[in-house]
Amino acid sequence: MTIKFHVSNDILVSYSAGTLDEASSLLVATHLALCPHCRARNRSADSLGGYLLDSLEEAPVSSAMKDAVLTRVRSEPSVGVGEAEPVSRTTGDAIIPDPLRSYVGGDLDELHWRRLAPRVQQIPVQTTGGRSKARLLRFQSGLTVPSHGHNGRELTLVLTGSLCDRDSILYRGDIAETDERTEHQPFAGPDDDCICLAVTDAPLRFKSKMARLLQPFFGI
Amino acid sequence: MSAGAISTIATVRQNPTSWASTVIDRNRQSLSWQIFGVALARRFKGRSSKAANSQKTSEHQMVAKGTEPGDPRSKAAEFAECISKIATERSEPAFDILFRHFAPRIKSYCMRMGADDSAAEEITQEALVSLWRNAAQFDPSKASPSTWIFTIARNLSIDRFRRSRRPEFDPNDPALVPDDQEPPDRLVEQIDIEESVRNVMDSLSANERNVVMLSFYDDLSHSEISRRLSLPIGTVKSRMRLAFAKLRSTLDAQDGAGK
């Protein structure tokens, strides 16, 4: 299945610059594992970083620092000119690609889901720095998420099943990006459970009173 | 984000009143820029324009010039050779050339990321030792020396200074979707990607390059950039839109399919 919904230029460029928070970077890196097209775009963004490094003003460097560097490299052991490590794929199957698999502690069959709402389960993903929160969500097939808006940006990366959001159907590897202006009611496709990685930088705004009342208990 | 040493970069020679007319003028050109950006970059391959860190970039600089001594391509070739000499013969003169070019710039980058002077020197020191140690891993077909060194400095400054992480994909992961087997004529070499980014950036005016720089390295929002440069927010937005429209052609078109 070819991925149709890619990471946006803004986010890709922040990822390359190193200014994107860890939770969102985790989502970008997981998408890159699934999307050769964006891996090529990522190389472009990195070369923008290289270009801009050349264009930066020069900060004066102390001579003590230069001496320290020279002392250190002189004491470095000789390294043989090794060929670059050949890329050999680890054998075996995995549904959840790295780096996400390491963050959640295993592949799909090793995860411990917690109930979030009827027919919805979650696994919070620990990241540091920034306000953004990452979580794995599992929607039972056919489930409709209550209509809601956002107080900030939300990124969703589909890993299994499908998610229908507004006029689009998202499959494995696809990314949905929403912001303050988006109000939506996504639903999981009819065939398999939909598992996705969701990263939010602010709590959601649910429309229904019941969902709003329950929200503090779920922390979503 | 750091207040950092922005002011030198933000040196803009034109006076504020001329910016508005520049933007209007560029609006007229933007469509053709977008369409022809990459085509031009490819066409002028081998005849790159001059290093872009001068403030004197003309408004219509997508004009190829002959290869000059200060040319970024020949610089890149020289730096690549230095890295290879470090790997093969532990050459200190080669290291010195790289040190003189990159140390002040890596330090500058670290300070933009929010490091103070001594933390910036510490990270710069680590980056240069890492350059020496990993010289044998440098592959000129995958990245230019500047891009390779940028990624080293970036990863170190996130680790050391921000105490955060920047997760990366693992090329050996069993769940990784491998690159398409493109027919040879569709393959875009990394070196071409580097060059089209360089060409598009060279084609920007100093003003446009400035907003890209503030957005890339300082992660500033439109309103922060507007305050920093004392420009109306509308001007910042339109300048940003135009600059990224040109860059978009290189960010989007790399595998030729955009699927």
Task: Say which residue, B134 or B227, is predicted with more confidence.
Answer: B134
C-alpha to C-alpha distance for B151 and A22, rounded to whole angstroms? 17
Task: Show the low-confidence residues of chain A (pLDDT under 50).
Answer: none
Q: What is the mean pLDDT of residues B64-69?
A: 42
Which residue matches tokens 């391959």? B45
Q: Which tops the pLDDT comparison, A6 or B60? A: A6
The bridge status of strand A163-165 relative to strand A187-188 is: antiparallel
Look at residue A215 in the predicted model and tell me its pLDDT. Answer: 61
Interchain contact, B133 vs A79, CB within 8 Å? yes
In B, which residues are within 8 Å of A55 by CB distance? 52-53, 201, 209, 213
Distance from CA of B216 to the nearest CA of A (A): 6
Radius of gyration of chain A (CA): 21
- As a whole-number percent, the residues of chain B with pLDDT over 70 amount to 62
Question: What pLDDT is attached to residue A124?
Answer: 94
Measure CB to CB from residue A53 to each of B128, B149, B193 and give the nearest one: B149
CB atoms A99 and B128 under 8 Å: no
Q: List domains and CATH numbers for chain A.
A: 112-218 (2.60.120.10)
Please tell me what DSSP assigns to residue B158.
I
Per CB-CB distance under 8 Å, the chain A contacts of B168 are 29, 99
Give the pLDDT of residue A26: 97
How many angstroms separate the CA of residue A109 from the nearest CA in chain B?
14
- The minimum CA-CA distance between B219 and chain A, rounded to whole Å, is 6
Nearest residue in chain A measured CA to CA from B112: A56
CB contact under 8 A, B105 and A58: yes
Q: How far apart are CA A23 and CA A25, in angstroms?
A: 5
B146-171: average pLDDT = 88
List CB contacts (< 8 A) between A37 and chain B.
Answer: 254-255, 257-259
Please state the φ and ψ torsions of residue A163, each to the nearest 5 degrees.
-130, 125
φ, ψ of residue A113 in degrees (nearest 5): -80, 150
Q: What is the pLDDT of residues B8-54, one digit of tens each?
A: 333 233 333 333 333 333 333 333 233 233 333 333 333 333 333 33
**Contact check, Cβ <8 Å, A13/B124:** no
Q: Give A130 or B140, the one with higher predicted confidence.
A: B140
pLDDT band at B241 (very low <50, low <70, confident <90, very high): confident
Can you spell out the DSSP letters for A197-218? EEEESS-EEESSHHHHHHHHHH
Query: What is the token pair recorded at A2?
Result: 């070819």
Distance from CA of A51 to the nearest CA of B (A): 7
Chain A interface, best mutation among B251, B252, B255, by max A CB count within 10 A: B251
pLDDT at B118: 92
Which architecture does CATH list for B72-162?
Orthogonal Bundle (1.10)
pTM exceeding the 0.90 threshold for the entire prediction: no
Do A199 and A155 contact (CB within 8 A), yes or no?
Answer: yes
Cβ separation of B147 and A47 shorter than 8 Å? yes
Helices (H), chain A: 9-17, 22-34, 36-55, 63-74, 100-104, 209-218
Best of B85, B169, B173, B194 to mutate (most A CBs within 10 Å, chain A):
B169
- Whether B258 shows a pLDDT value over 70: the answer reads no
In terms of residues, how long is chain A? 220
d(CA A201, CA A132): 4
**Residue A196 has what DSSP assignment?**
E
Which positions in chain B touch A36 (Cβ < 8 Å)? 177-180, 255
B233 or B14, which is more confident: B233
Per-residue pLDDT, B145: 95
Name the residue in chain A with its Cα closest to that of B257.
Answer: A37
Give me the pLDDT at residue B14, please: 32
How, if at all, do strands A133-139 and A194-200 pair?
Answer: antiparallel
Output the pLDDT for position B194: 81
Is the model's pLDDT at B218 over the cut of 90? no
To the nearest whole Å, the CA of A47 is away from the closest chain B CA by 5
Average pLDDT over residues B163-173: 88
Closest CA to B1 of B217, B232, B229, B239: B217
Residue type, B186: R
Task: State the average pLDDT over residues B137-162.
Answer: 89
Answer whether A13's CB lies under 8 Å from A45's CB. Answer: yes
Sheet holding A154-160, edge to edge: A114-117, A120-125, A133-139, A194-200, A154-160, A175-178
Q: Going edge to edge, which strands form the sheet with A187-188?
A: A168-170, A163-165, A187-188
What are the domain boundaries of chain B?
A: 72-162
- Alpha-carbon distance of A37 to A14, in angstroms, equals 18
What DSSP designation does A133 have?
Answer: E
